[in-house]
């Protein structure tokens, strides 16, 4: 827990950590995960997924799924992102993840500065993915799930090299977009994609 949170405030709560992955990419869904850790089965090395190697993330994701009291992954599609905007789609994906949990939490701790609207009480924690283990775990599951989806999309659309950049707006991705045009997997509301549709 971060220094400004009192552990005693959470002693009787069933806490789930919640985080999302994939706000920035030009392609693919945004994913979210919710995790309720098991205090009797601690997982060592949890931290913000962006600070871990892919190999370490994958190993921790396997451990989280094996040891957590409950976990769930959800997503919002490219179509939903374009319809709602990425912020609202991220909030919806997080709500879906919490609602899919097999154990009902009493409190959801959300990475960031705002919470999705849902029936479970929630609290936003800025940089929570590096302060709260349950949020770190959610960060890892959301990231590994999204990466796996992008590897699948790479099989369908190899011309965009999604396996290398996971849909993010890298120079390579932008070059391939200009070369091959916009595919159904691209977020048409994002400026680098929208400009190619004119």
Per the annotation, binding residues for a divalent metal cation are 19-20, 111
d(CA 134, CA 140): 10
**Quick one: residue 112, left, alpha or beta (phi over 0 = left, psi -120 to 50 = alpha)?**
left
**Burial class of residue 156 (count of CB atoms within 10 Å of its CB; 0-12, 13-18, 19+):** exposed
Pairing of strands 122-125, 107-111: parallel
Would you state the structure tokens that stand for residue 21, as one six-digit string? Answer: 């992955």
């Amino acid at each position: 827990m971060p220094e400004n949170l009192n552990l005693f405030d959470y002693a009787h709560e069933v806490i789930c950590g919640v985080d999302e992955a994939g706000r920035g990419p030009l392609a693919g869904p945004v994913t979210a995960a919710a995790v309720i850790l098991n205090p009797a089965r601690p997982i060592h090395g949890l931290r913000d997924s962006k600070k871990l190697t892919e190999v370490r993330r994958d190993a921790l994701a396997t451990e989280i799924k094996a040891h957590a009291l409950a976990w769930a992954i959800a997503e919002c599609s490219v179509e939903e992102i374009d319809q709602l905007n990425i912020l609202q789609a991220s909030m919806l994906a997080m709500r879906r993840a919490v609602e899919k949990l097999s154990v009902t939490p009493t409190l959801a701790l959300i990475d960031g500065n705002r919470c999705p609207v849902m029936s479970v009480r929630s609290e936003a924690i800025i940089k929570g993915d590096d302060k709260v283990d349950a949020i770190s775990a959610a960060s890892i599951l959301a990231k590994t799930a999204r990466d796996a989806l992008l590897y699948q999309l790479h099989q369908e659309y190899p011309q965009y090299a999604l396996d290398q950049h996971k849909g993010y707006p890298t120079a390579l991705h932008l070059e391939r977009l200009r070369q091959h045009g916009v595919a159904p997997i691209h977020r048409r509301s994002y400026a680098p994609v929208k400009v190619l549709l004119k």
